[in-house]
A and B are shown apart, each in its own frame.
Chain A
């Protein structure tokens, strides 16, 4: 019903969808339990519950309080980051952590303990949450935060929505210098030239992230563009709604190897050699993909998978990129970022940890794609890394348990009425 799909469109299991009413009456557990879901921007099955039902939190979309002097915002969990930014940015505040899209609810940002291009200076989303309200299916209402109800807080941040319904979130915002981003782009010829430049950029910039051409091989392996930026004052550039979008899902993927190769080459060559200064508005810099509505549809009905891992060091990240280049797989989106060590994630199941994260999209071509991703998993596993559950739809139970050893202790906090396809997949043998 309703045709609810996760962002990647895989697995496309049918979902029974209901909207959670504002009265917050939770349904009976019933068969298969329920799962609260915000925008459904998670790529895989952490936001699916085909065995039971999915509860949209779209109606929990009210602000509760905003202290404009101290930058403290409290809101219902279905409020999106887009709503928050529209409210706080003109008033001189900024969300301290944003993922690559504005189409995420506060509840979803907490449940996946999302990170952004400034992880090296701000840590993950959970580091900025002052308080959460958690409603349990037994009727308990638990207010928790980093200094009170800590156990529940640590279980719920990064807890994939499994510990109860997150109904309210209170955040500490950060002061905003202005509506502009000033920064630079540095084109690098090969992956090995990235690491020093990235470390250097991190010492000077709030946001640092690299795009790589994941199809380039040999001496050009991992060539790409490093983008850095910081907030700056100035006249806000005119908001431009592109109006570009993909109106429907084509039967086959538009992302074909030859096109990807051409696009990646064009993008890399278009950037001038060396370093160039850039200025832009907030949205095009932080949320470039939001500029094309429903871009995920270009992968066709079979959808796509993203493989996002974090591994302790650059050499291991290079092995991932090598593997993908050799397989001649991957697509336009391939991102590398160093994860900072200064702000430990607070959640028991949080993904962000020190090291290097690599995220690559793959059109879904059945067993061939799954086998490649399994091979990448082995590299990650050997390196002592982890995969990001919010992006995952297929990692093995063993892979998950190895990289999230707290999962067994976490089970104590899971609400017995809640279930997700992801959790079933990685916890049942």
Chain B
């Protein structure tokens, strides 16, 4: 089955992966609604996407932690007719794990950005797609959500919630022809991970990940590990008994 993407709503549009995907959609002449927090950067990206061929680009500036505005703005955008073919939830942050361990406020913020706000956004999108009986809801999860690791337990916990919620929505929406795609990238070389030194062969570019997401949406996939080898790595890691896993230093 092949799905066309003519209208897309992108949350966290300033993220590197979201931007790379938007460029693909723009080149095909798509109509884009971009949601992000940094207004100056968002407006420049919108101009860029217009030059690249987007038929129209609308921007919504908001902080996903402002729940009332998040819901109101999403509902407003989602009332569009014809409905969106794709809604991508891509906002996120990479929390400092030791800081979260010591400071509950930091932990709460990390969980709200990467978990709660993502779920709220998914819920609003699901309602709209349910009504329209149309579209693909794609959300950026992470391989970190497959199994908690010492180095990013908080981030992993939030992403695990995203994966579980996406699974639930998938079951609910499947009979209506609405797809839910959980994207589980491995390491991506983006500004969010710029501080990490010594990036090895497991690191992928945002463009590579965006290409995989595009193909997965068009192909109607449900869960996407990207790049592909992460599916195998995680299959092994998930299968390890806890008493073995706890001894790994990864």
Contact = CB atoms under 8 A, between A and B. Distances in A.
Interface string A21-57: 1110000000000000000000000000000000000
B206 to A, nearest CB: 11
Interface stretch (B45-53, B128-136, B232-240): B45-53
Contacts of B52: 63, 87
Contacts of A65: 47, 51
A411 B191 CA distance: 34
Interface string B35-46: 000000100110
Interface string A58-71: 01001111100000
8 contacts: A1-B197, A22-B41, A62-B47, A63-B47, A63-B48, A63-B51, A64-B44, A65-B47
Among B44, B51, B52, residue most surrounded by chain A Cβ atoms (within 10 Å): B51
B97 to A, nearest CB: 23
B244 interface: no
Interface residues of A, number: 12
Nearest to A68: B51
B194 interface: yes
B194 A87 contact: no
A19 interface: yes
A19 B51 CA distance: 24
A23 B38 CA distance: 10
Contacts, number: 26
Given A19-B194, A22-B44, A63-B48, 11 more contacts: A1-B197, A21-B191, A22-B41, A22-B191, A23-B41, A62-B47, A63-B51, A64-B44, A65-B51, A66-B51, A87-B52
Interface in A266-306: none
Interface in B42-67: 44-45, 47-48, 51-52
A65 B50 CA distance: 8
Interface residues of B, number: 10
Nearest to A23: B41
Interface residues of chain B: helix, strand, loop or mixed (majority): helix
A46 B20 CA distance: 30
Contacts of A66: 51
A64 B47 contact: yes
A66 B52 CA distance: 9
B47 A59 contact: no
A201 to B, nearest CB: 36
A344 to B, nearest CB: 32
Contacts of B44: 22, 62, 64
Contacts of A87: 51-52
A21 B197 CA distance: 17
Interface in B140-160: none
Given A19-B194, A21-B191, A59-B191, A64 B41 contact: no
Contact of B48 (A1, A23, A62): A62
A63 B44 CA distance: 8
Contacts of A63: 47-48, 51-52
Nearest to B197: A1
Interface string B169-204: 000000000000000000000010010010000000
A328 B47 CA distance: 54
Nearest to A18: B194
A65 B48 CA distance: 7
Contacts of B197: 1
A87 B50 CA distance: 12
Contacts of A64: 44, 47-48, 51
